[in-house]
Amino acid sequence: MAKSSPIGLFDSGVGGLTVAHALHTLLPSEQLIYFGDTAHLPYGDKSREAIIQYSLGITDFLLKQKCKVILIACNSASANAFEEVKEFVGKRAVVMNVIDPVVTQVCVDTGSVRSVGIIGTKATIDSRTYERKIKETLATLVANSSEISAVISPVLQVSSLATPLFVPMIEEGFVFDDISNAIIRAYLSRRELIGIDSLILGCTHYPIIRNQISRYFNFKVNVLDTAQIVAQDVQKFLSENDLLNSDHKGKGENQFYVSDFTPYFEVIANMFFNEKIHLEKLNIWK
C-alpha cells in the first residue's frame, strides 16, 4: 500500500459527502475517490442482502482504483455489510466504517455521557449494531481498566429510533424551513429520546440538519459531529500506520462518481460537500 494511494469512500448517495468533506478539510493532501450509489438510493429501506451486494460491487470498483483505505461512509452499509466487505477485501486495503469511531468516542466519554440516543435509517436501527458495539466496547474497556469501570458506573443508557423521513426530506431540500422543523420535532419528541444527554447522528445525511437538531434540544443535548469523529479516526489510523500522504504536490484530483445522475444531485452534492464539486456518472452495475 502506497502512502500516495487514494482513500475510497462510498454511500448510497450524496450523504457520505459530509464525511468526504470532513476528510478533505482535515487531510487536504489525501486524494479521495467517492462513489455515491444513487441508482440504488435509499439503502435504509433495503434488505441486508441487497446492501451487501451493492457494497461489494462498489468495493470492487474502489479496489481497482488502488485505494489504500475503503471507508464505508454510510451507516446502513456499515451496520449491514462491514464484515462482508472486510472479508472480500482481505489484505488488499484497509476497510473502515462510520460506526466504530463514534462508538469508541461515546464509550470513552462516559464521564459525561449517561444516556445516549441514536437516530438513523431503518436498516441501521433494526440491525441494532450500535447497541451491540457499545455493549462490547464498554465490556472491553471495563475489563481493561478498573479506573474506567468506576467512571462508567452506574450505566450507559442507550436508546434508538429510526427516523426514515429525514433522508428524503434532506434530499428534497427541506432543511432550514417549517417542514423540516415539523418533521424534526415529530421524531425528536418521541419517548425513546426523552432524557438523553447525547445524540448519535447514525446516518451520514444527518450532519446537514445538525444545527436544527441541536436547536430542538435547546443546545442541551450533545449532538455528536459524527463526520468529524470519523475523519479524525481515519487521520489517526493513517498517521499511526505511516500511511499519511506527505507529498501534497503529487496528490491526484479528488473524484466523485454517482451510479445515476439527475442535475439536481449536483446541487445537493454541493450542499453536502459544502463547496462546488463535479459529479460524474459511472455505471458499475452493467
* Catalytic positions: 74, 203
- Return the ∠ at Cα 54 (arms to 200 and 73), rounded to 5°: 30
Please enumerate in sequence order all residues whose Cβ is within 8 A of that of 185, keeping only pairs 6 or more positions apart, or say none.
Answer: 216
Smallest separation, CB 47 to ligand DGL (Å): 13
Considering beta carbons, is residue 6 or 42 the nearer one to ligand DGL? 42
Closest residue to ligand DGL, judged by C-beta, is 44
d(CA 244, CA 262): 35
Comparison of 98 and 148: residue with beta carbon closer to ligand DGL: 98
Distance between terminal CA atoms of the chain? 29
Place of cell 444516556: 115
Q: Which is nearer to ligand DGL, 6 or 207 (CB)?
A: 207
For residues 123 and 148, which CB has a smaller minimum distance to ligand DGL in the complex? 123
**Minimum distance from CB of 85 to ligand DGL (Å)?**
15
CA distance 125 to 139: 21
Comparing CB distances to ligand DGL, the nearer of 78 and 255 is 78
Q: Is 157 helix (H, G, I), strand (E, B) or coil?
A: strand
Minimum CB distance to ligand DGL, residue 223 (Å): 16
C-alpha cell, 223: 449532538
Give the nearer residue to ligand DGL in terms of CB position, either 9 or 196: 9
Distance (Å, rounded) from C-alpha 15 to C-alpha 94?
A: 22
H/E element, 34 = strand 32-36
Rounded least distance, CB 259 to ligand DGL, Å: 12
Contact 13, 258 (CB under 8 A): yes
* Shortest distance, position 114 Cβ to ligand DGL, whole Å: 26
Counting every residue written for the chain, the total comes to: 286
Q: How far is the CB of 265 from ligand DGL (least distance, A)?
A: 13
User: Which residues of the chain form contacts with ligand DGL (CB under 6 A)?
Assistant: 11-13, 15, 41-44, 74-76, 121, 124, 167, 203-205
Handedness of CA 99, 104, 109, 111 (dihedral sign): positive
Q: Residue 256 to residues 176, 194, 241: CA-CA distances in angstroms?
A: 26, 39, 26
User: Using CA atoms, how far apart are residues 256 and 277, in angstroms rounded to an integer?
Assistant: 8
Cα gap 123→153, rounded to integer Å = 31
